[in-house]
Amino acid sequence: MFLTQRRYSGGLWLELDGSSFILDPGPGALVRALQYGKDPGRLDCIISSHCHLDHYNDVEVMVEAMTHGLNRRQGLLVLQEGVVDYISQYHRSHVETIVPKAGEKFRVGRVEVEAIPTIKHAGGLGFRFTTSDGVVTYSGDTSLADEVVSHYGGSNLLILNTIFTSVRGSDTHLNTEDAAEVARKINPKHLVITHFGVRLLNDGPEVAAAKIQKETGVKTTAATDGMTVRIS
């Protein structure tokens, strides 16, 4: 998808309790942030969940933006261990860098962030953000497994990377049927599906979201470029 930019690949921008995060800044992260009125110079944290290009390509670009051209040492860089070797020591030396394991927690301002596991996908991580308005959980790229889904409980906003339609299975990614199963088990207040593959995009993610909502009773939204979601 990022090769055609039929859907943008700049990642997710989070504004939580006064702190700004960019999550999985893929190709175009800086351009899209500016396009949608975000100020990368006010970032507090950059997070990359695993070592695939669409999840880390613009990490160094965003580090330069966050540090005002590497002229200030500020901000936190959070890398899954597989990403570390792809980011230069030159860039890592200008920020505080941490490499969390699943289950480890850290703070960014008033936000508590927990790295959570994924399964069968590049040793990646998901992330759970606990804020004064509720819990935001991001699955990362993962297969479906109880030991992963158990970390999604209590989510006000659950963001699932949902690559495939229900007619296609995968050992490494969720499909729309998996997303519906997660919704039934976890019952988040709001489910957002994103990170669509070509077939799912062609079939209409909004159709899939409506089907999940009808089957589960969970409010479900298919992400669109530039969409803003409020937690509360």
Residue pLDDT, tens place only, 219-229: 999 999 999 99
Structural domains for the chain: 1-100 (3.60.15.10)
At residue 168 the predicted structure's pLDDT band, cuts being 50, 70 and 90, is confident
Mean pLDDT of 124-140: 98
At residue 98 the predicted structure's pLDDT band, cuts being 50, 70 and 90, is very high
At residue 169 the predicted structure's pLDDT band, cuts being 50, 70 and 90, is confident
Ramachandran category for residue 123: left, alpha or beta (phi over 0 → left; psi -120 to 50 → alpha): left
Percent over 70 (pLDDT), the chain: 100
Would the pTM of this model clear 0.95, i.e. be above it? yes
At residue 27 the predicted structure's pLDDT band, cuts being 50, 70 and 90, is very high
Residue pLDDT, tens place only, 189-208: 999 999 999 999 999 999 99
At residue 34 the predicted structure's pLDDT band, cuts being 50, 70 and 90, is very high
Task: DSSP for 133-175, please give it.
Answer: TEEEEE--S----HHHHGGGTT-SEEEEEEEE-TT---SSSEE
Strands 157-164 and 134-138: parallel
